[in-house]
Amino acid sequence: MAQAEVQAELDKHFKHNFRVNVLDGASFWFGASFFATRTIGVLFLSYLTDNTFAFGLLAMIASTGWSLPQLFTANWVQRLPVKKVVPVVHGFYWERLPVLLLPLAALAALRSTGLAIFLFLLFIAWHVIGAGIVGVGWQDMIAKIFPVAWRGRYFGIANFLGNGTGILGATAAAWMLETMQFPYNFMLVFGIGGVFIFISWIFLSMTREPAQEPKNPPQDSKTYWRSIPGIIKADRNFRRFLISSVLSVIGFMAVGFLTVYAIRTWDISDATVSLFTTSMLAGNTLSNPLFGWLGDKFGHKKVLVINGLLTVAAIVVALVAPVPVWFYLVFALLGANQAGFLTSGITIVFEFCDEEVRPTYIGITNTVMGIFGAIAPLVASLIIEQFNFQALFWVSIIFSMISVLFLMVFVREPRGAASAA
């Protein structure tokens, strides 16, 4: 199909695609509120172990599983005429199925703590890494079906609805966790999350995407991998963006331990931990439309600068908090941070390049971040063991501030020729 015909088809189905993908995002984030790894997931593990390494492993999976695999699938995605096949067909088994199995981890806690820990980390890793395997295809599909001026708004509206309803979900989860006996409470909460993750997949499968044969000839794996260093070397602005992204990942390493810190410092209740998710969703919900509009109107670099400052603010509040109620603000700030990443951290990459090499740029960005994100939580757990939580918080604050300054000074807003297409 010629480019003009493809564009005509995309224009024809724009409203339909916007609706079903917004519903996909809304259902996904609502379902995810029932097994949020940084709050409910940490709480589940805290019933089973006090081993810091287990929490560090969960933080590593949550931080890097989505990012790390993406460059390994980029060449495959780049050759596909229809990108939808990746998140819909492959995504069901790689990303959605393990969430449906997650209640089995809670059931296993009746017989064996070790088995419950193993199954929980296995299903979470399967889900998050599976999302990374199909992530390039999904991102390339979104970039293909929505023009530049609508991408931020798409993410903003989808996440606004998902997290807005997710506040109700997290509140319901708090009630279930507080009033029901362990592990039956987690079986129910995880089960509800799986149902809505499946519903979101149904909406995603309704996307209408015309086939478009790639212009560039396919590359074998050896030639493709040899081309990666050249891309990074040739594009100085993109290279600087990668550096700022790596610094931000290192600065983010304390985030996976904030719930553990609150539990150990104040021995807070299950309901309070679950309500941290509510606070995070509230911050996310309120920020999404603003960041979506800001990114579409003025460029996504500005949102990422704000995002880095939100990381600093959240950790500073956690560091000085005299009582656990302050952590509602901590998680609200982290929710806003998550909104900034989803609206601008993803979409800014689309604007560094043209559509033919877009999967490669997406893959490079996320895999580089994933490599450092895999190491950072393990280093964070060592800092806690050798020193304390406060030392970790200060390291994160310093790296987050360096990341913000580097982004502001050395990275140019990429919107231009690539984004005008």
Q: Which residue has the higher pLDDT, 276 or 402?
A: 402
Identify the weakest region by mean pLDDT among 58-67, 108-117, 204-213. 58-67
The mean-pLDDT minimum among 17-26, 219-228, 385-394 falls in 219-228
Nearest alpha-carbon partner for 48 in 124, 108, 117, 115: 117
Nearest to 73 by CA among 60, 90, 59: 90
3-state SS, residue 248: helix
* Long-range contact set of residues 89-93: C-beta below 8 Å, sequence gap at least 24: 90/133, 90/134, 90/137, 91/130, 91/131, 91/134, 91/137, 91/138, 91/201, 91/204, 92/201, 93/130
Number of other CB atoms surrounding residue 112 within 10 Å: 12
Highest mean pLDDT of the ranges 28-32, 82-86, 164-168: 82-86
For range 206-218, the mean pLDDT:
84
For residue 421, is pLDDT > 70?
no
Look up tokens 């940490």; give the residue. Answer: 42
The confidence band for 240, taking pLDDT boundaries of 50, 70 and 90, is very high
Mean of pLDDT values over 179-203: 93
- pLDDT confidence of residue 416: 60
pLDDT at 90: 93
Q: Look at residue 215 and tell me whether its pLDDT is greater than 80.
A: no
What pLDDT was estimated at residue 220? Answer: 80
Give Dmax over CA atoms of the chain in angstroms. 63
Of residues 343, 340, 339, the one with CA closest to residue 296: 343
Mean pLDDT to the nearest integer, 330-359: 86
The yes-or-no verdict on residue 418 having pLDDT over 50 is: no
Q: Which residue has the higher pLDDT, 290 or 124?
A: 124
* Average confidence (pLDDT) over 132-159: 85
pLDDT in tens, 255-307: 888 888 998 888 888 778 778 877 888 888 888 888 888 888 888 899 999 99
Q: Looking up tokens 């059931």, which residue turns up?
A: 107
String of DSSP letters for 23-80: HHHHHHHHHHTTS-IIIIIHHHHHHH---HHHHHHHHHHHHHTTTTTHHHHHHHHHT-
Out of 7-11, 226-230, 396-400, which region has the weakest mean confidence (pLDDT)?
A: 7-11
Q: Does 417 score more than 50 pLDDT?
A: no
For the four alpha carbons of 129, 155, 165 and 333, in that order, the dihedral sign comes to positive
Span 61-78, mean pLDDT?
A: 84
Q: What CA–CA distances, in Å, run from 159 to 299, 327, 354, 358?
A: 19, 22, 26, 23
Cβ-contact 168, 285 below 8 angstroms: no
Q: Which of 15-19, 151-155, 191-195, 331-335 has the lowest mean pLDDT?
A: 151-155
Neighbours of 303 (CB within 10 A): 26
Average pLDDT of the residues in 333-343:
87
pLDDT of 371 above 90: no
> What does the alpha-carbon distance between residue 329 and residue 325 come to, in Å, rounded to a whole number?
8
Strands of 356-402 (E only): list them: none
Supply the DSSP symbol for 315.
H
Chain center to CA of 213: 29
Residues 152-171: tens digit of each pLDDT: 788 888 878 877 777 777 77
pLDDT tier for residue 2 given thresholds of 50, 70 and 90: low
Task: Give the Cα separation of 237 and 349 in Å (integer).
Answer: 11
The mean per-residue pLDDT over the stretch 110-133 comes to 93
Mind listing the domains of the chain with CATH numbers?
8-209+220-420 (1.20.1250.20)
The span from the CA of 179 to the CA of 232, in Å, is 53
Q: What percent of the chain has pLDDT above 90? A: 41
Share of the chain above pLDDT 70, in %: 98
- Could you tell me the two tokens for 193? 């999350």
Predicted pLDDT of residue 419: 38
Band of residue 420 on the pLDDT scale cut at 50, 70, 90: very low
How much is the pLDDT for 1? 60
Q: Which residues contact 250 (CB under 8 A, 6 or more apart)?
A: 372, 376, 396, 399, 403
CA–CA distance, 272 with 291 (Å, rounded to integer): 28
pLDDT averaged over every residue in the chain: 87
Angle between helix axes 148-179 and 184-205 (nearest 10 degrees) is: 160
